[in-house]
Amino acid sequence: MDKKNTASEENILSRRELLTKGMYVGGGALIMSGFSNVASAEPLEVPQWSKQVGKPILTNPYGLPSKYEKDVIRHANVPEDSPPGYVPALAQNSWSATPLADMRGIITPNGLFYERHHGGIADIDPTQHRLIINGMVERNLEISVANLKRYPSINRINFLECSGNSDKDWQVPTGASVQSIHGLLSCAQWTGVSLGLLLREAGADLSKAKYIIAEGADAPSMSRTLPIDRALDDVIVAYAQNGESLRPEQGYPLRLFVPGCEGNLNVKWLRRLEVTDTPLFSRNETSKYTDLLGNNISRAASLTMEAKSVITTPSAGQTLPEKGFYEIRGFAWSGNGKIARVDISLDGGKNWQPAHLNGPVLSKCLTEFTLPWRWKGQHAVILSRAVDETGYVQPYYQQIIKARGHHSEYHNNSMQAWEINTDGSVHNARV
């Protein structure tokens, strides 16, 4: 970390200072002094909703958010969010983004979990669906969804990120929001069966097999190759998400879930697992989802999502309404394990301040970070950088460009900067 730490600057409030002075000296005066609209001592007016009986139980048999949260929704890929020259995808081969700026905590509600489809959402009858395991095995397995749920189950809390996340901002900074640029990222609790257990059940020849080919039951039969050592690690065949069955857009009734790896490897509507000694070299492993490098070659099979972070509040499209106290918030994650540290800069990367990691801090999972900050109306450029438990440090944009050139678009894990103007408006920036 830069020795010119900003901890002594007036506009940075340490958590210890905040808790000590705010909670124990004057009952929160430090925080409240940062707001201009401090409540008076007059009694509160009794609102209309306190004067009438509310709606009965089961008004909505499946619970819905408050009508006042109607704007907290996924946004589809649309032309106006795209950089110049970008051709938007068809609705059946497109995506929707999670509203990260409205998320608190590490779990993304199922109704807000990002989508990515290559041929539309398959409508599958679970009673008719089967999972086939074949290839270099002693016995072919055909498993119904009901029978799969009889196997020992595993729960995992992990993030899922599309390898194309942040690609809109690759060459030219857009004016888009954090949702539009970074919203192909979500996190959930996944429930399913260990892939390693299923492979051993089939008698997979682990002495010769090198890969697993996963195939989906959607229209394009989305297929990807998974190395056998990865398959035997922490991979599951998932059937539930956040305590309920997978949603159709998330692969109902079954999907492969490979923690920490790019989203499209987590094949949805899973119907077949083939044990083999040869990669598939599918369309999505050759013409797409490979990383172009600066020396005119392509790096194939870059499956792991490296350490990354993004500040969600304040972020582009938001406005700070007044001077005073704010909590800078965001998320950090790494496909290589736990987040060890997140640093925040208020001056475009010249000086850095350690952020607080809100627990829990889990492996291959979103980690929420915060930093208390008093904004005095000054111009600021804020950004965050993540460091994971392997020691990997999230790179600057220019470091990515130096390594890969200007033609890559996948696995963009560079730092995201936001510029705060003196009027409180927040815009996309690059440092």
Is the predicted pLDDT of residue 336 greater than 60, yes or no? yes
- Helix, strand, coil share (%) of the chain residues, nearest 5: 20, 30, 50
pLDDT of residue 28: 46
Average pLDDT over residues 120-130: 97
- 404 close to 291: Cβ distance less than 8 angstroms: yes
Six token digits for residue 272: 């077949």
pLDDT of residue 159: 98
In whole angstroms, give the CA distance from residue 228 to residue 55: 54
Domains present along the chain, CATH in parentheses: 75-289 (3.90.420.10), 308-429 (2.60.40.650)
Name residue 238's beta-bridge partners.
192, 255
In whole angstroms, give the CA distance from residue 349 to residue 337: 25
Centre a 10 Å sphere on the Cβ of residue 150 and count the other Cβ atoms it contains.
10
Look at residue 402 and give its three-state secondary structure.
helix
In whole angstroms, give the CA distance from residue 395 to residue 416: 10
Average pLDDT over residues 304-330: 97
| End-to-end C-alpha distance for the chain, whole angstroms | 17
In whole angstroms, give the CA distance from residue 376 to residue 9: 12
Taking only the tens place, the pLDDT of each residue in 5-23 is: 444 355 666 666 665 555 4
pLDDT of residue 35: 67
State the pLDDT confidence band at 203, using cuts at 50, 70 and 90.
Answer: very high
State the pLDDT confidence band at 172, using cuts at 50, 70 and 90.
Answer: low
Q: How many percent of the chain have pLDDT more than 90?
A: 73
Is the predicted pLDDT of residue 2 greater than 60, yes or no? no
- 270 close to 257: Cβ distance less than 8 angstroms: no
Taking only the tens place, the pLDDT of each residue in 51-85 is: 999 999 888 999 999 999 999 999 987 654 555 55
pLDDT: which is higher, 92 or 277:
277
Six token digits for residue 68: 């006042």
State the pLDDT confidence band at 25, using cuts at 50, 70 and 90.
Answer: very low
pLDDT of residue 176: 83
- 335 close to 286: Cβ distance less than 8 angstroms: no
pLDDT: which is higher, 3 or 48:
48
The residue with tokens 């119904």 is: 144
Taking only the tens place, the pLDDT of each residue in 226-262 is: 999 999 999 999 999 999 999 999 999 999 999 999 9
- Write down how long the chain is: 431
Question: Cα–Cα–Cα angle for 160, 165, 166, nearest 5°?
Answer: 145
Average pLDDT over residues 107-135: 96
Average pLDDT over residues 89-113: 91
Pairing of the two strands 324-333 and 367-375: antiparallel
pLDDT of residue 97: 94
pLDDT of residue 406: 77
Phi, psi at residue 121, to the nearest 5°?
Answer: -90, 120
Q: What is the pTM of this model?
A: 0.90
State the pLDDT confidence band at 38, using cuts at 50, 70 and 90.
Answer: low
Average pLDDT over residues 125-154: 98
| Report for 47-61, 130-144, 296-310: range of highest mean pLDDT | 130-144
pLDDT of residue 26: 40
Chain Cα centroid distance, residue 341 = 18
Look over the chain and give the mean of its residue pLDDT values, rounded to a whole number.
89
The sign of the CA dihedral 173, 174, 176, 180 is negative
